[in-house]
Amino acid sequence: MPPRRGGSSPGVADERTNPPPPPAETTAGTGPAGTAGDTDEDAGTRLTVWVALVANVVIAIAKAVVGVLAGAPALLSEAAHSVADTLNEGFLLASLSRSRRAPDAEHPFGYGKDRYFWSLLAAVGIFVTGGCFSVFQGFEALREHGEPKTGAYVAGLAVLGLALIAEGGSLLRAVVQLRGQARAAGVSVLRHARETPDPTLRTVLAEDGSAVLGVLLAAGGLGLHMATGDAVWEAAASWAIGLLLVFVAYRLGRAARDQLIGEAVDVELQRRILARLAEQPEIDVVTQVLTMRMGRHSTLLAARIDLVDGLDSTEVEDMSERLKHTIRESWPTVDQIFLDITRAGTDARQAAHRYHQSLHRTTPGPADPPTENDPPA
């Protein structure tokens, strides 16, 4: 008769009700509660958003005033662009504070995903306030078809020049922060910009980048209208700005949608977690590893495992607690850990083998910052 599999009957070792806070080394702003204050990254992101907000408020007022005086649709399109960015910065600041609220009975996993919701609202704001209004202004330019007011247009170009400096400075601030995060994660800046789990920084980058390009398009439209007297150039500039904003809104909205639905951590981190689980002497086979980002600083991990024969319930409990502590120590953001202990039959083992192969064939995403306890990748 085979030895008894103590604790290996189907069951789950987890935190079932309000999850406890992460260990002491992770509670200072890294868990979902994080009420002790912003992390360094969040403080940097907050400063980046404030820089963009101040720049956009000043620029929006200047563009709107000169755009109305000059009757320049391209300049009014850029004013709408800046107004949209200003509103969105307000959304992003709200997301930074609201997503840091502590878990409660109604939201036991915390409010980390609130940041993704506000980023989605920002994308909608870019589309409606910026993109649609800019396209409308393009048609207005063709309908009015008036001669450009030289003095007012020169003032408009001067405002756009100042806007380029301000938007460029805000973009530079965001790029500096992105570069620091990419260096810490050990990936390229472009790759981190595409795949960063921080929707706030990604939104500011997209806004500032499109703002710089939009200023150049508006200046080109105004200049060509002045040089040729043909309003079609300014209309084309307004349409180009509108299409640019629609594209940016689509990309940001799609990213926010994926994160709200539930996005897994990068493949490299999944591989490392799988390796950490598989190296435990009590674990016979890891049949599945499921992850989901619950916020900027919180990740849920659910692993289905089969144990070796001969373990009693005390050994299973000790293994479970030790493994959770080890994972949290190595990757502090992985703070919600659930272990499903289930006997794996032949079919389950074959499925696990295919799962392991697919995981190692998948192109890795941006790796989380390595820790001194990380196993080799």
Q: Which residue has the higher pLDDT, 274 or 193?
A: 274
Is the model more confident about 363 or about 216? 216
Question: Residue 190 and residue 195: Cα distance in Å, rounded?
Answer: 9
What is the number of other CB atoms lying within 10 angstroms of the CB of residue 176?
Answer: 11
**pLDDT digits 0-9 by tens, 58-94:** 888 888 888 888 778 888 888 888 888 888 888 888 8
| Closest-CA residue to 290 (of 332, 256, 337, 322) | 337
Q: How confident is the model at residue 145 (pLDDT cuts 50, 70, 90)?
A: low
Residue 19 is predicted with a pLDDT of: 44
DSSP string for residues in 256-270: HHHHHH--PPPHHHH
Quick: pLDDT tens for 215-268.
Answer: 999 999 989 988 888 888 988 999 999 999 899 989 889 988 988 998 898 888
Q: Tell me: pLDDT of 318 over 80.
A: yes
Q: What is the pTM of this model?
A: 0.71
List the domains of the chain with CATH numbers: 11-26+265-361 (3.30.70.1350), 40-261 (1.20.1510)
Q: Tokens for 281, please give them.
A: 């002497």
Question: With left for phi above 0 and alpha for psi between -120 and 50, is residue 200 left, alpha or beta?
Answer: alpha
- Distance between CA atoms of 42 and 148, rounded to whole angstroms? 46
Place of tokens 């293994």: 319
Q: Quick check: 305 and 246 in contact, CB under 8 A?
A: no
| Confidence label for 146 from pLDDT (cuts 50, 70 and 90) | low
Question: In angstroms, what CA-CA distances link 58 with 16, 63, 79, 351?
Answer: 50, 9, 10, 58
Count the neighbouring beta carbons within 10 Å of the beta carbon of residue 281: 7
DSSP 189-223: HHHHHHH-S-HHHHHHHHHHHHHHHHHHHHHHHHH
Query: Is the pLDDT confidence value at 6 over 70?
Result: no
321-331: per-residue pLDDT in tens?
999 999 999 99
Q: How confident is the model at residue 132 (pLDDT cuts 50, 70, 90)?
A: confident
